Amino acid sequence: MVKYRYLDSDPLQGPRLKIHRAEEHANALSAEIYEFGKLRAKGSRADYNAQIGAYEFHTLDDWTIPLEWSLLVGDCLNNARSCLDHLFWLLEGRPDPKQERVQFPIFNDARTLKFVRAKPSIRQLIEGVQPRNRLRDEDLLWCLSEMNNADKHRLLMVAASALGGAQFAKLPDRSRLEWVHARLEQDAVFLRYRAQPTEQVDLNPQVSGVPVFDEGPAVGREVLVTLGDLILDIRSNILDRVTAADLP
């Protein structure tokens, strides 16, 4: 068993600090997104499309997400994953990293999980949170595993802007509205309003956008919501269910 002085007082503080750090990165990203939104004009222009009998509203602004945000996303994912790995190392009895490499298992197939020193109750806990025992397409740990691996070894976790909503100068007839759920880019159509070409339409929608993942298992999901749910999942369903008495 590897001995470290800080583990004597509170052996679980390492994983707790890691998930707290992940939360700090998510909060920093939230602040960046807020400032980004304040600086953006959110007007629109309308053209009439005679083929479909509707006004089409286009964005006027460049909604390209700063690539630097991907670094904050990657840092958040890395600390969340490290939280689990630190915890599993403790649950396996602090093996010497020079002799044995341990990592919190996250699998979506039927392979047998390998434990050496973890207690039966902990084995049951870890088995229960495996993606194969959850809805894979909805599982946050599976998203964490795939995106963290990609961020570390291949790709930045790039985000795109998606339509978050709009405010209108004049209340529209909602039965004639059609939202276009495409990525927000300069001159992108985000809304159609069915009307006659001679009909005066003065909606002047002011667009709001939200960053979403543009690739990977979480594609299309809101970035901040996904990161927040992931941190909560790790805290509530794993970390908070382990005490010092569970350590070998």
Which of 83-87, 105-109, 159-163, 214-218 shows the highest mean pLDDT?
83-87
pLDDT at 37 over 80: no
Q: What is the pLDDT of residue 136?
A: 57
For residue 133, what is the enclosing H or E element? none
Domain boundaries, the chain: 6-246
* pLDDT at 6 (0 to 100): 64
CA distance 172 to 226: 32
Pairing of strands 44-49, 159-167: unpaired
Q: What is the pLDDT of residue 100?
A: 75
- Tally DSSP H helices, then E strands, for the chain: 6, 6
Chain segment 165-186, per-residue pLDDT in tens: 788 888 788 899 999 877 788 8
Q: How far is CA 147 from CA 49, 68, 128, 137, 183, in A?
A: 40, 16, 21, 14, 21
Has residue 137 got a pLDDT over 60?
A: no
pTM for the model stands at: 0.86
**What is the sign, positive or negative, of the torsion defined by CA atoms of 126, 214, 18, 95?**
positive
Q: What is the pLDDT of residue 52?
A: 95
The model's pLDDT over 47-94, given as tens digits with 9 standing for 90+, comes to: 999 999 999 999 887 788 888 999 999 999 999 999 999 999 999 998
Q: What is the DSSP string of 7-40?
A: HHH-TTHHHHHHHHHHHHHHHHHHHHHHHHHHH-
Mean pLDDT of the chain: 88
Q: What pLDDT does residue 186 have?
A: 82
CB 163 within 8 A of CB 209: yes
Mean pLDDT on 195-213: 87
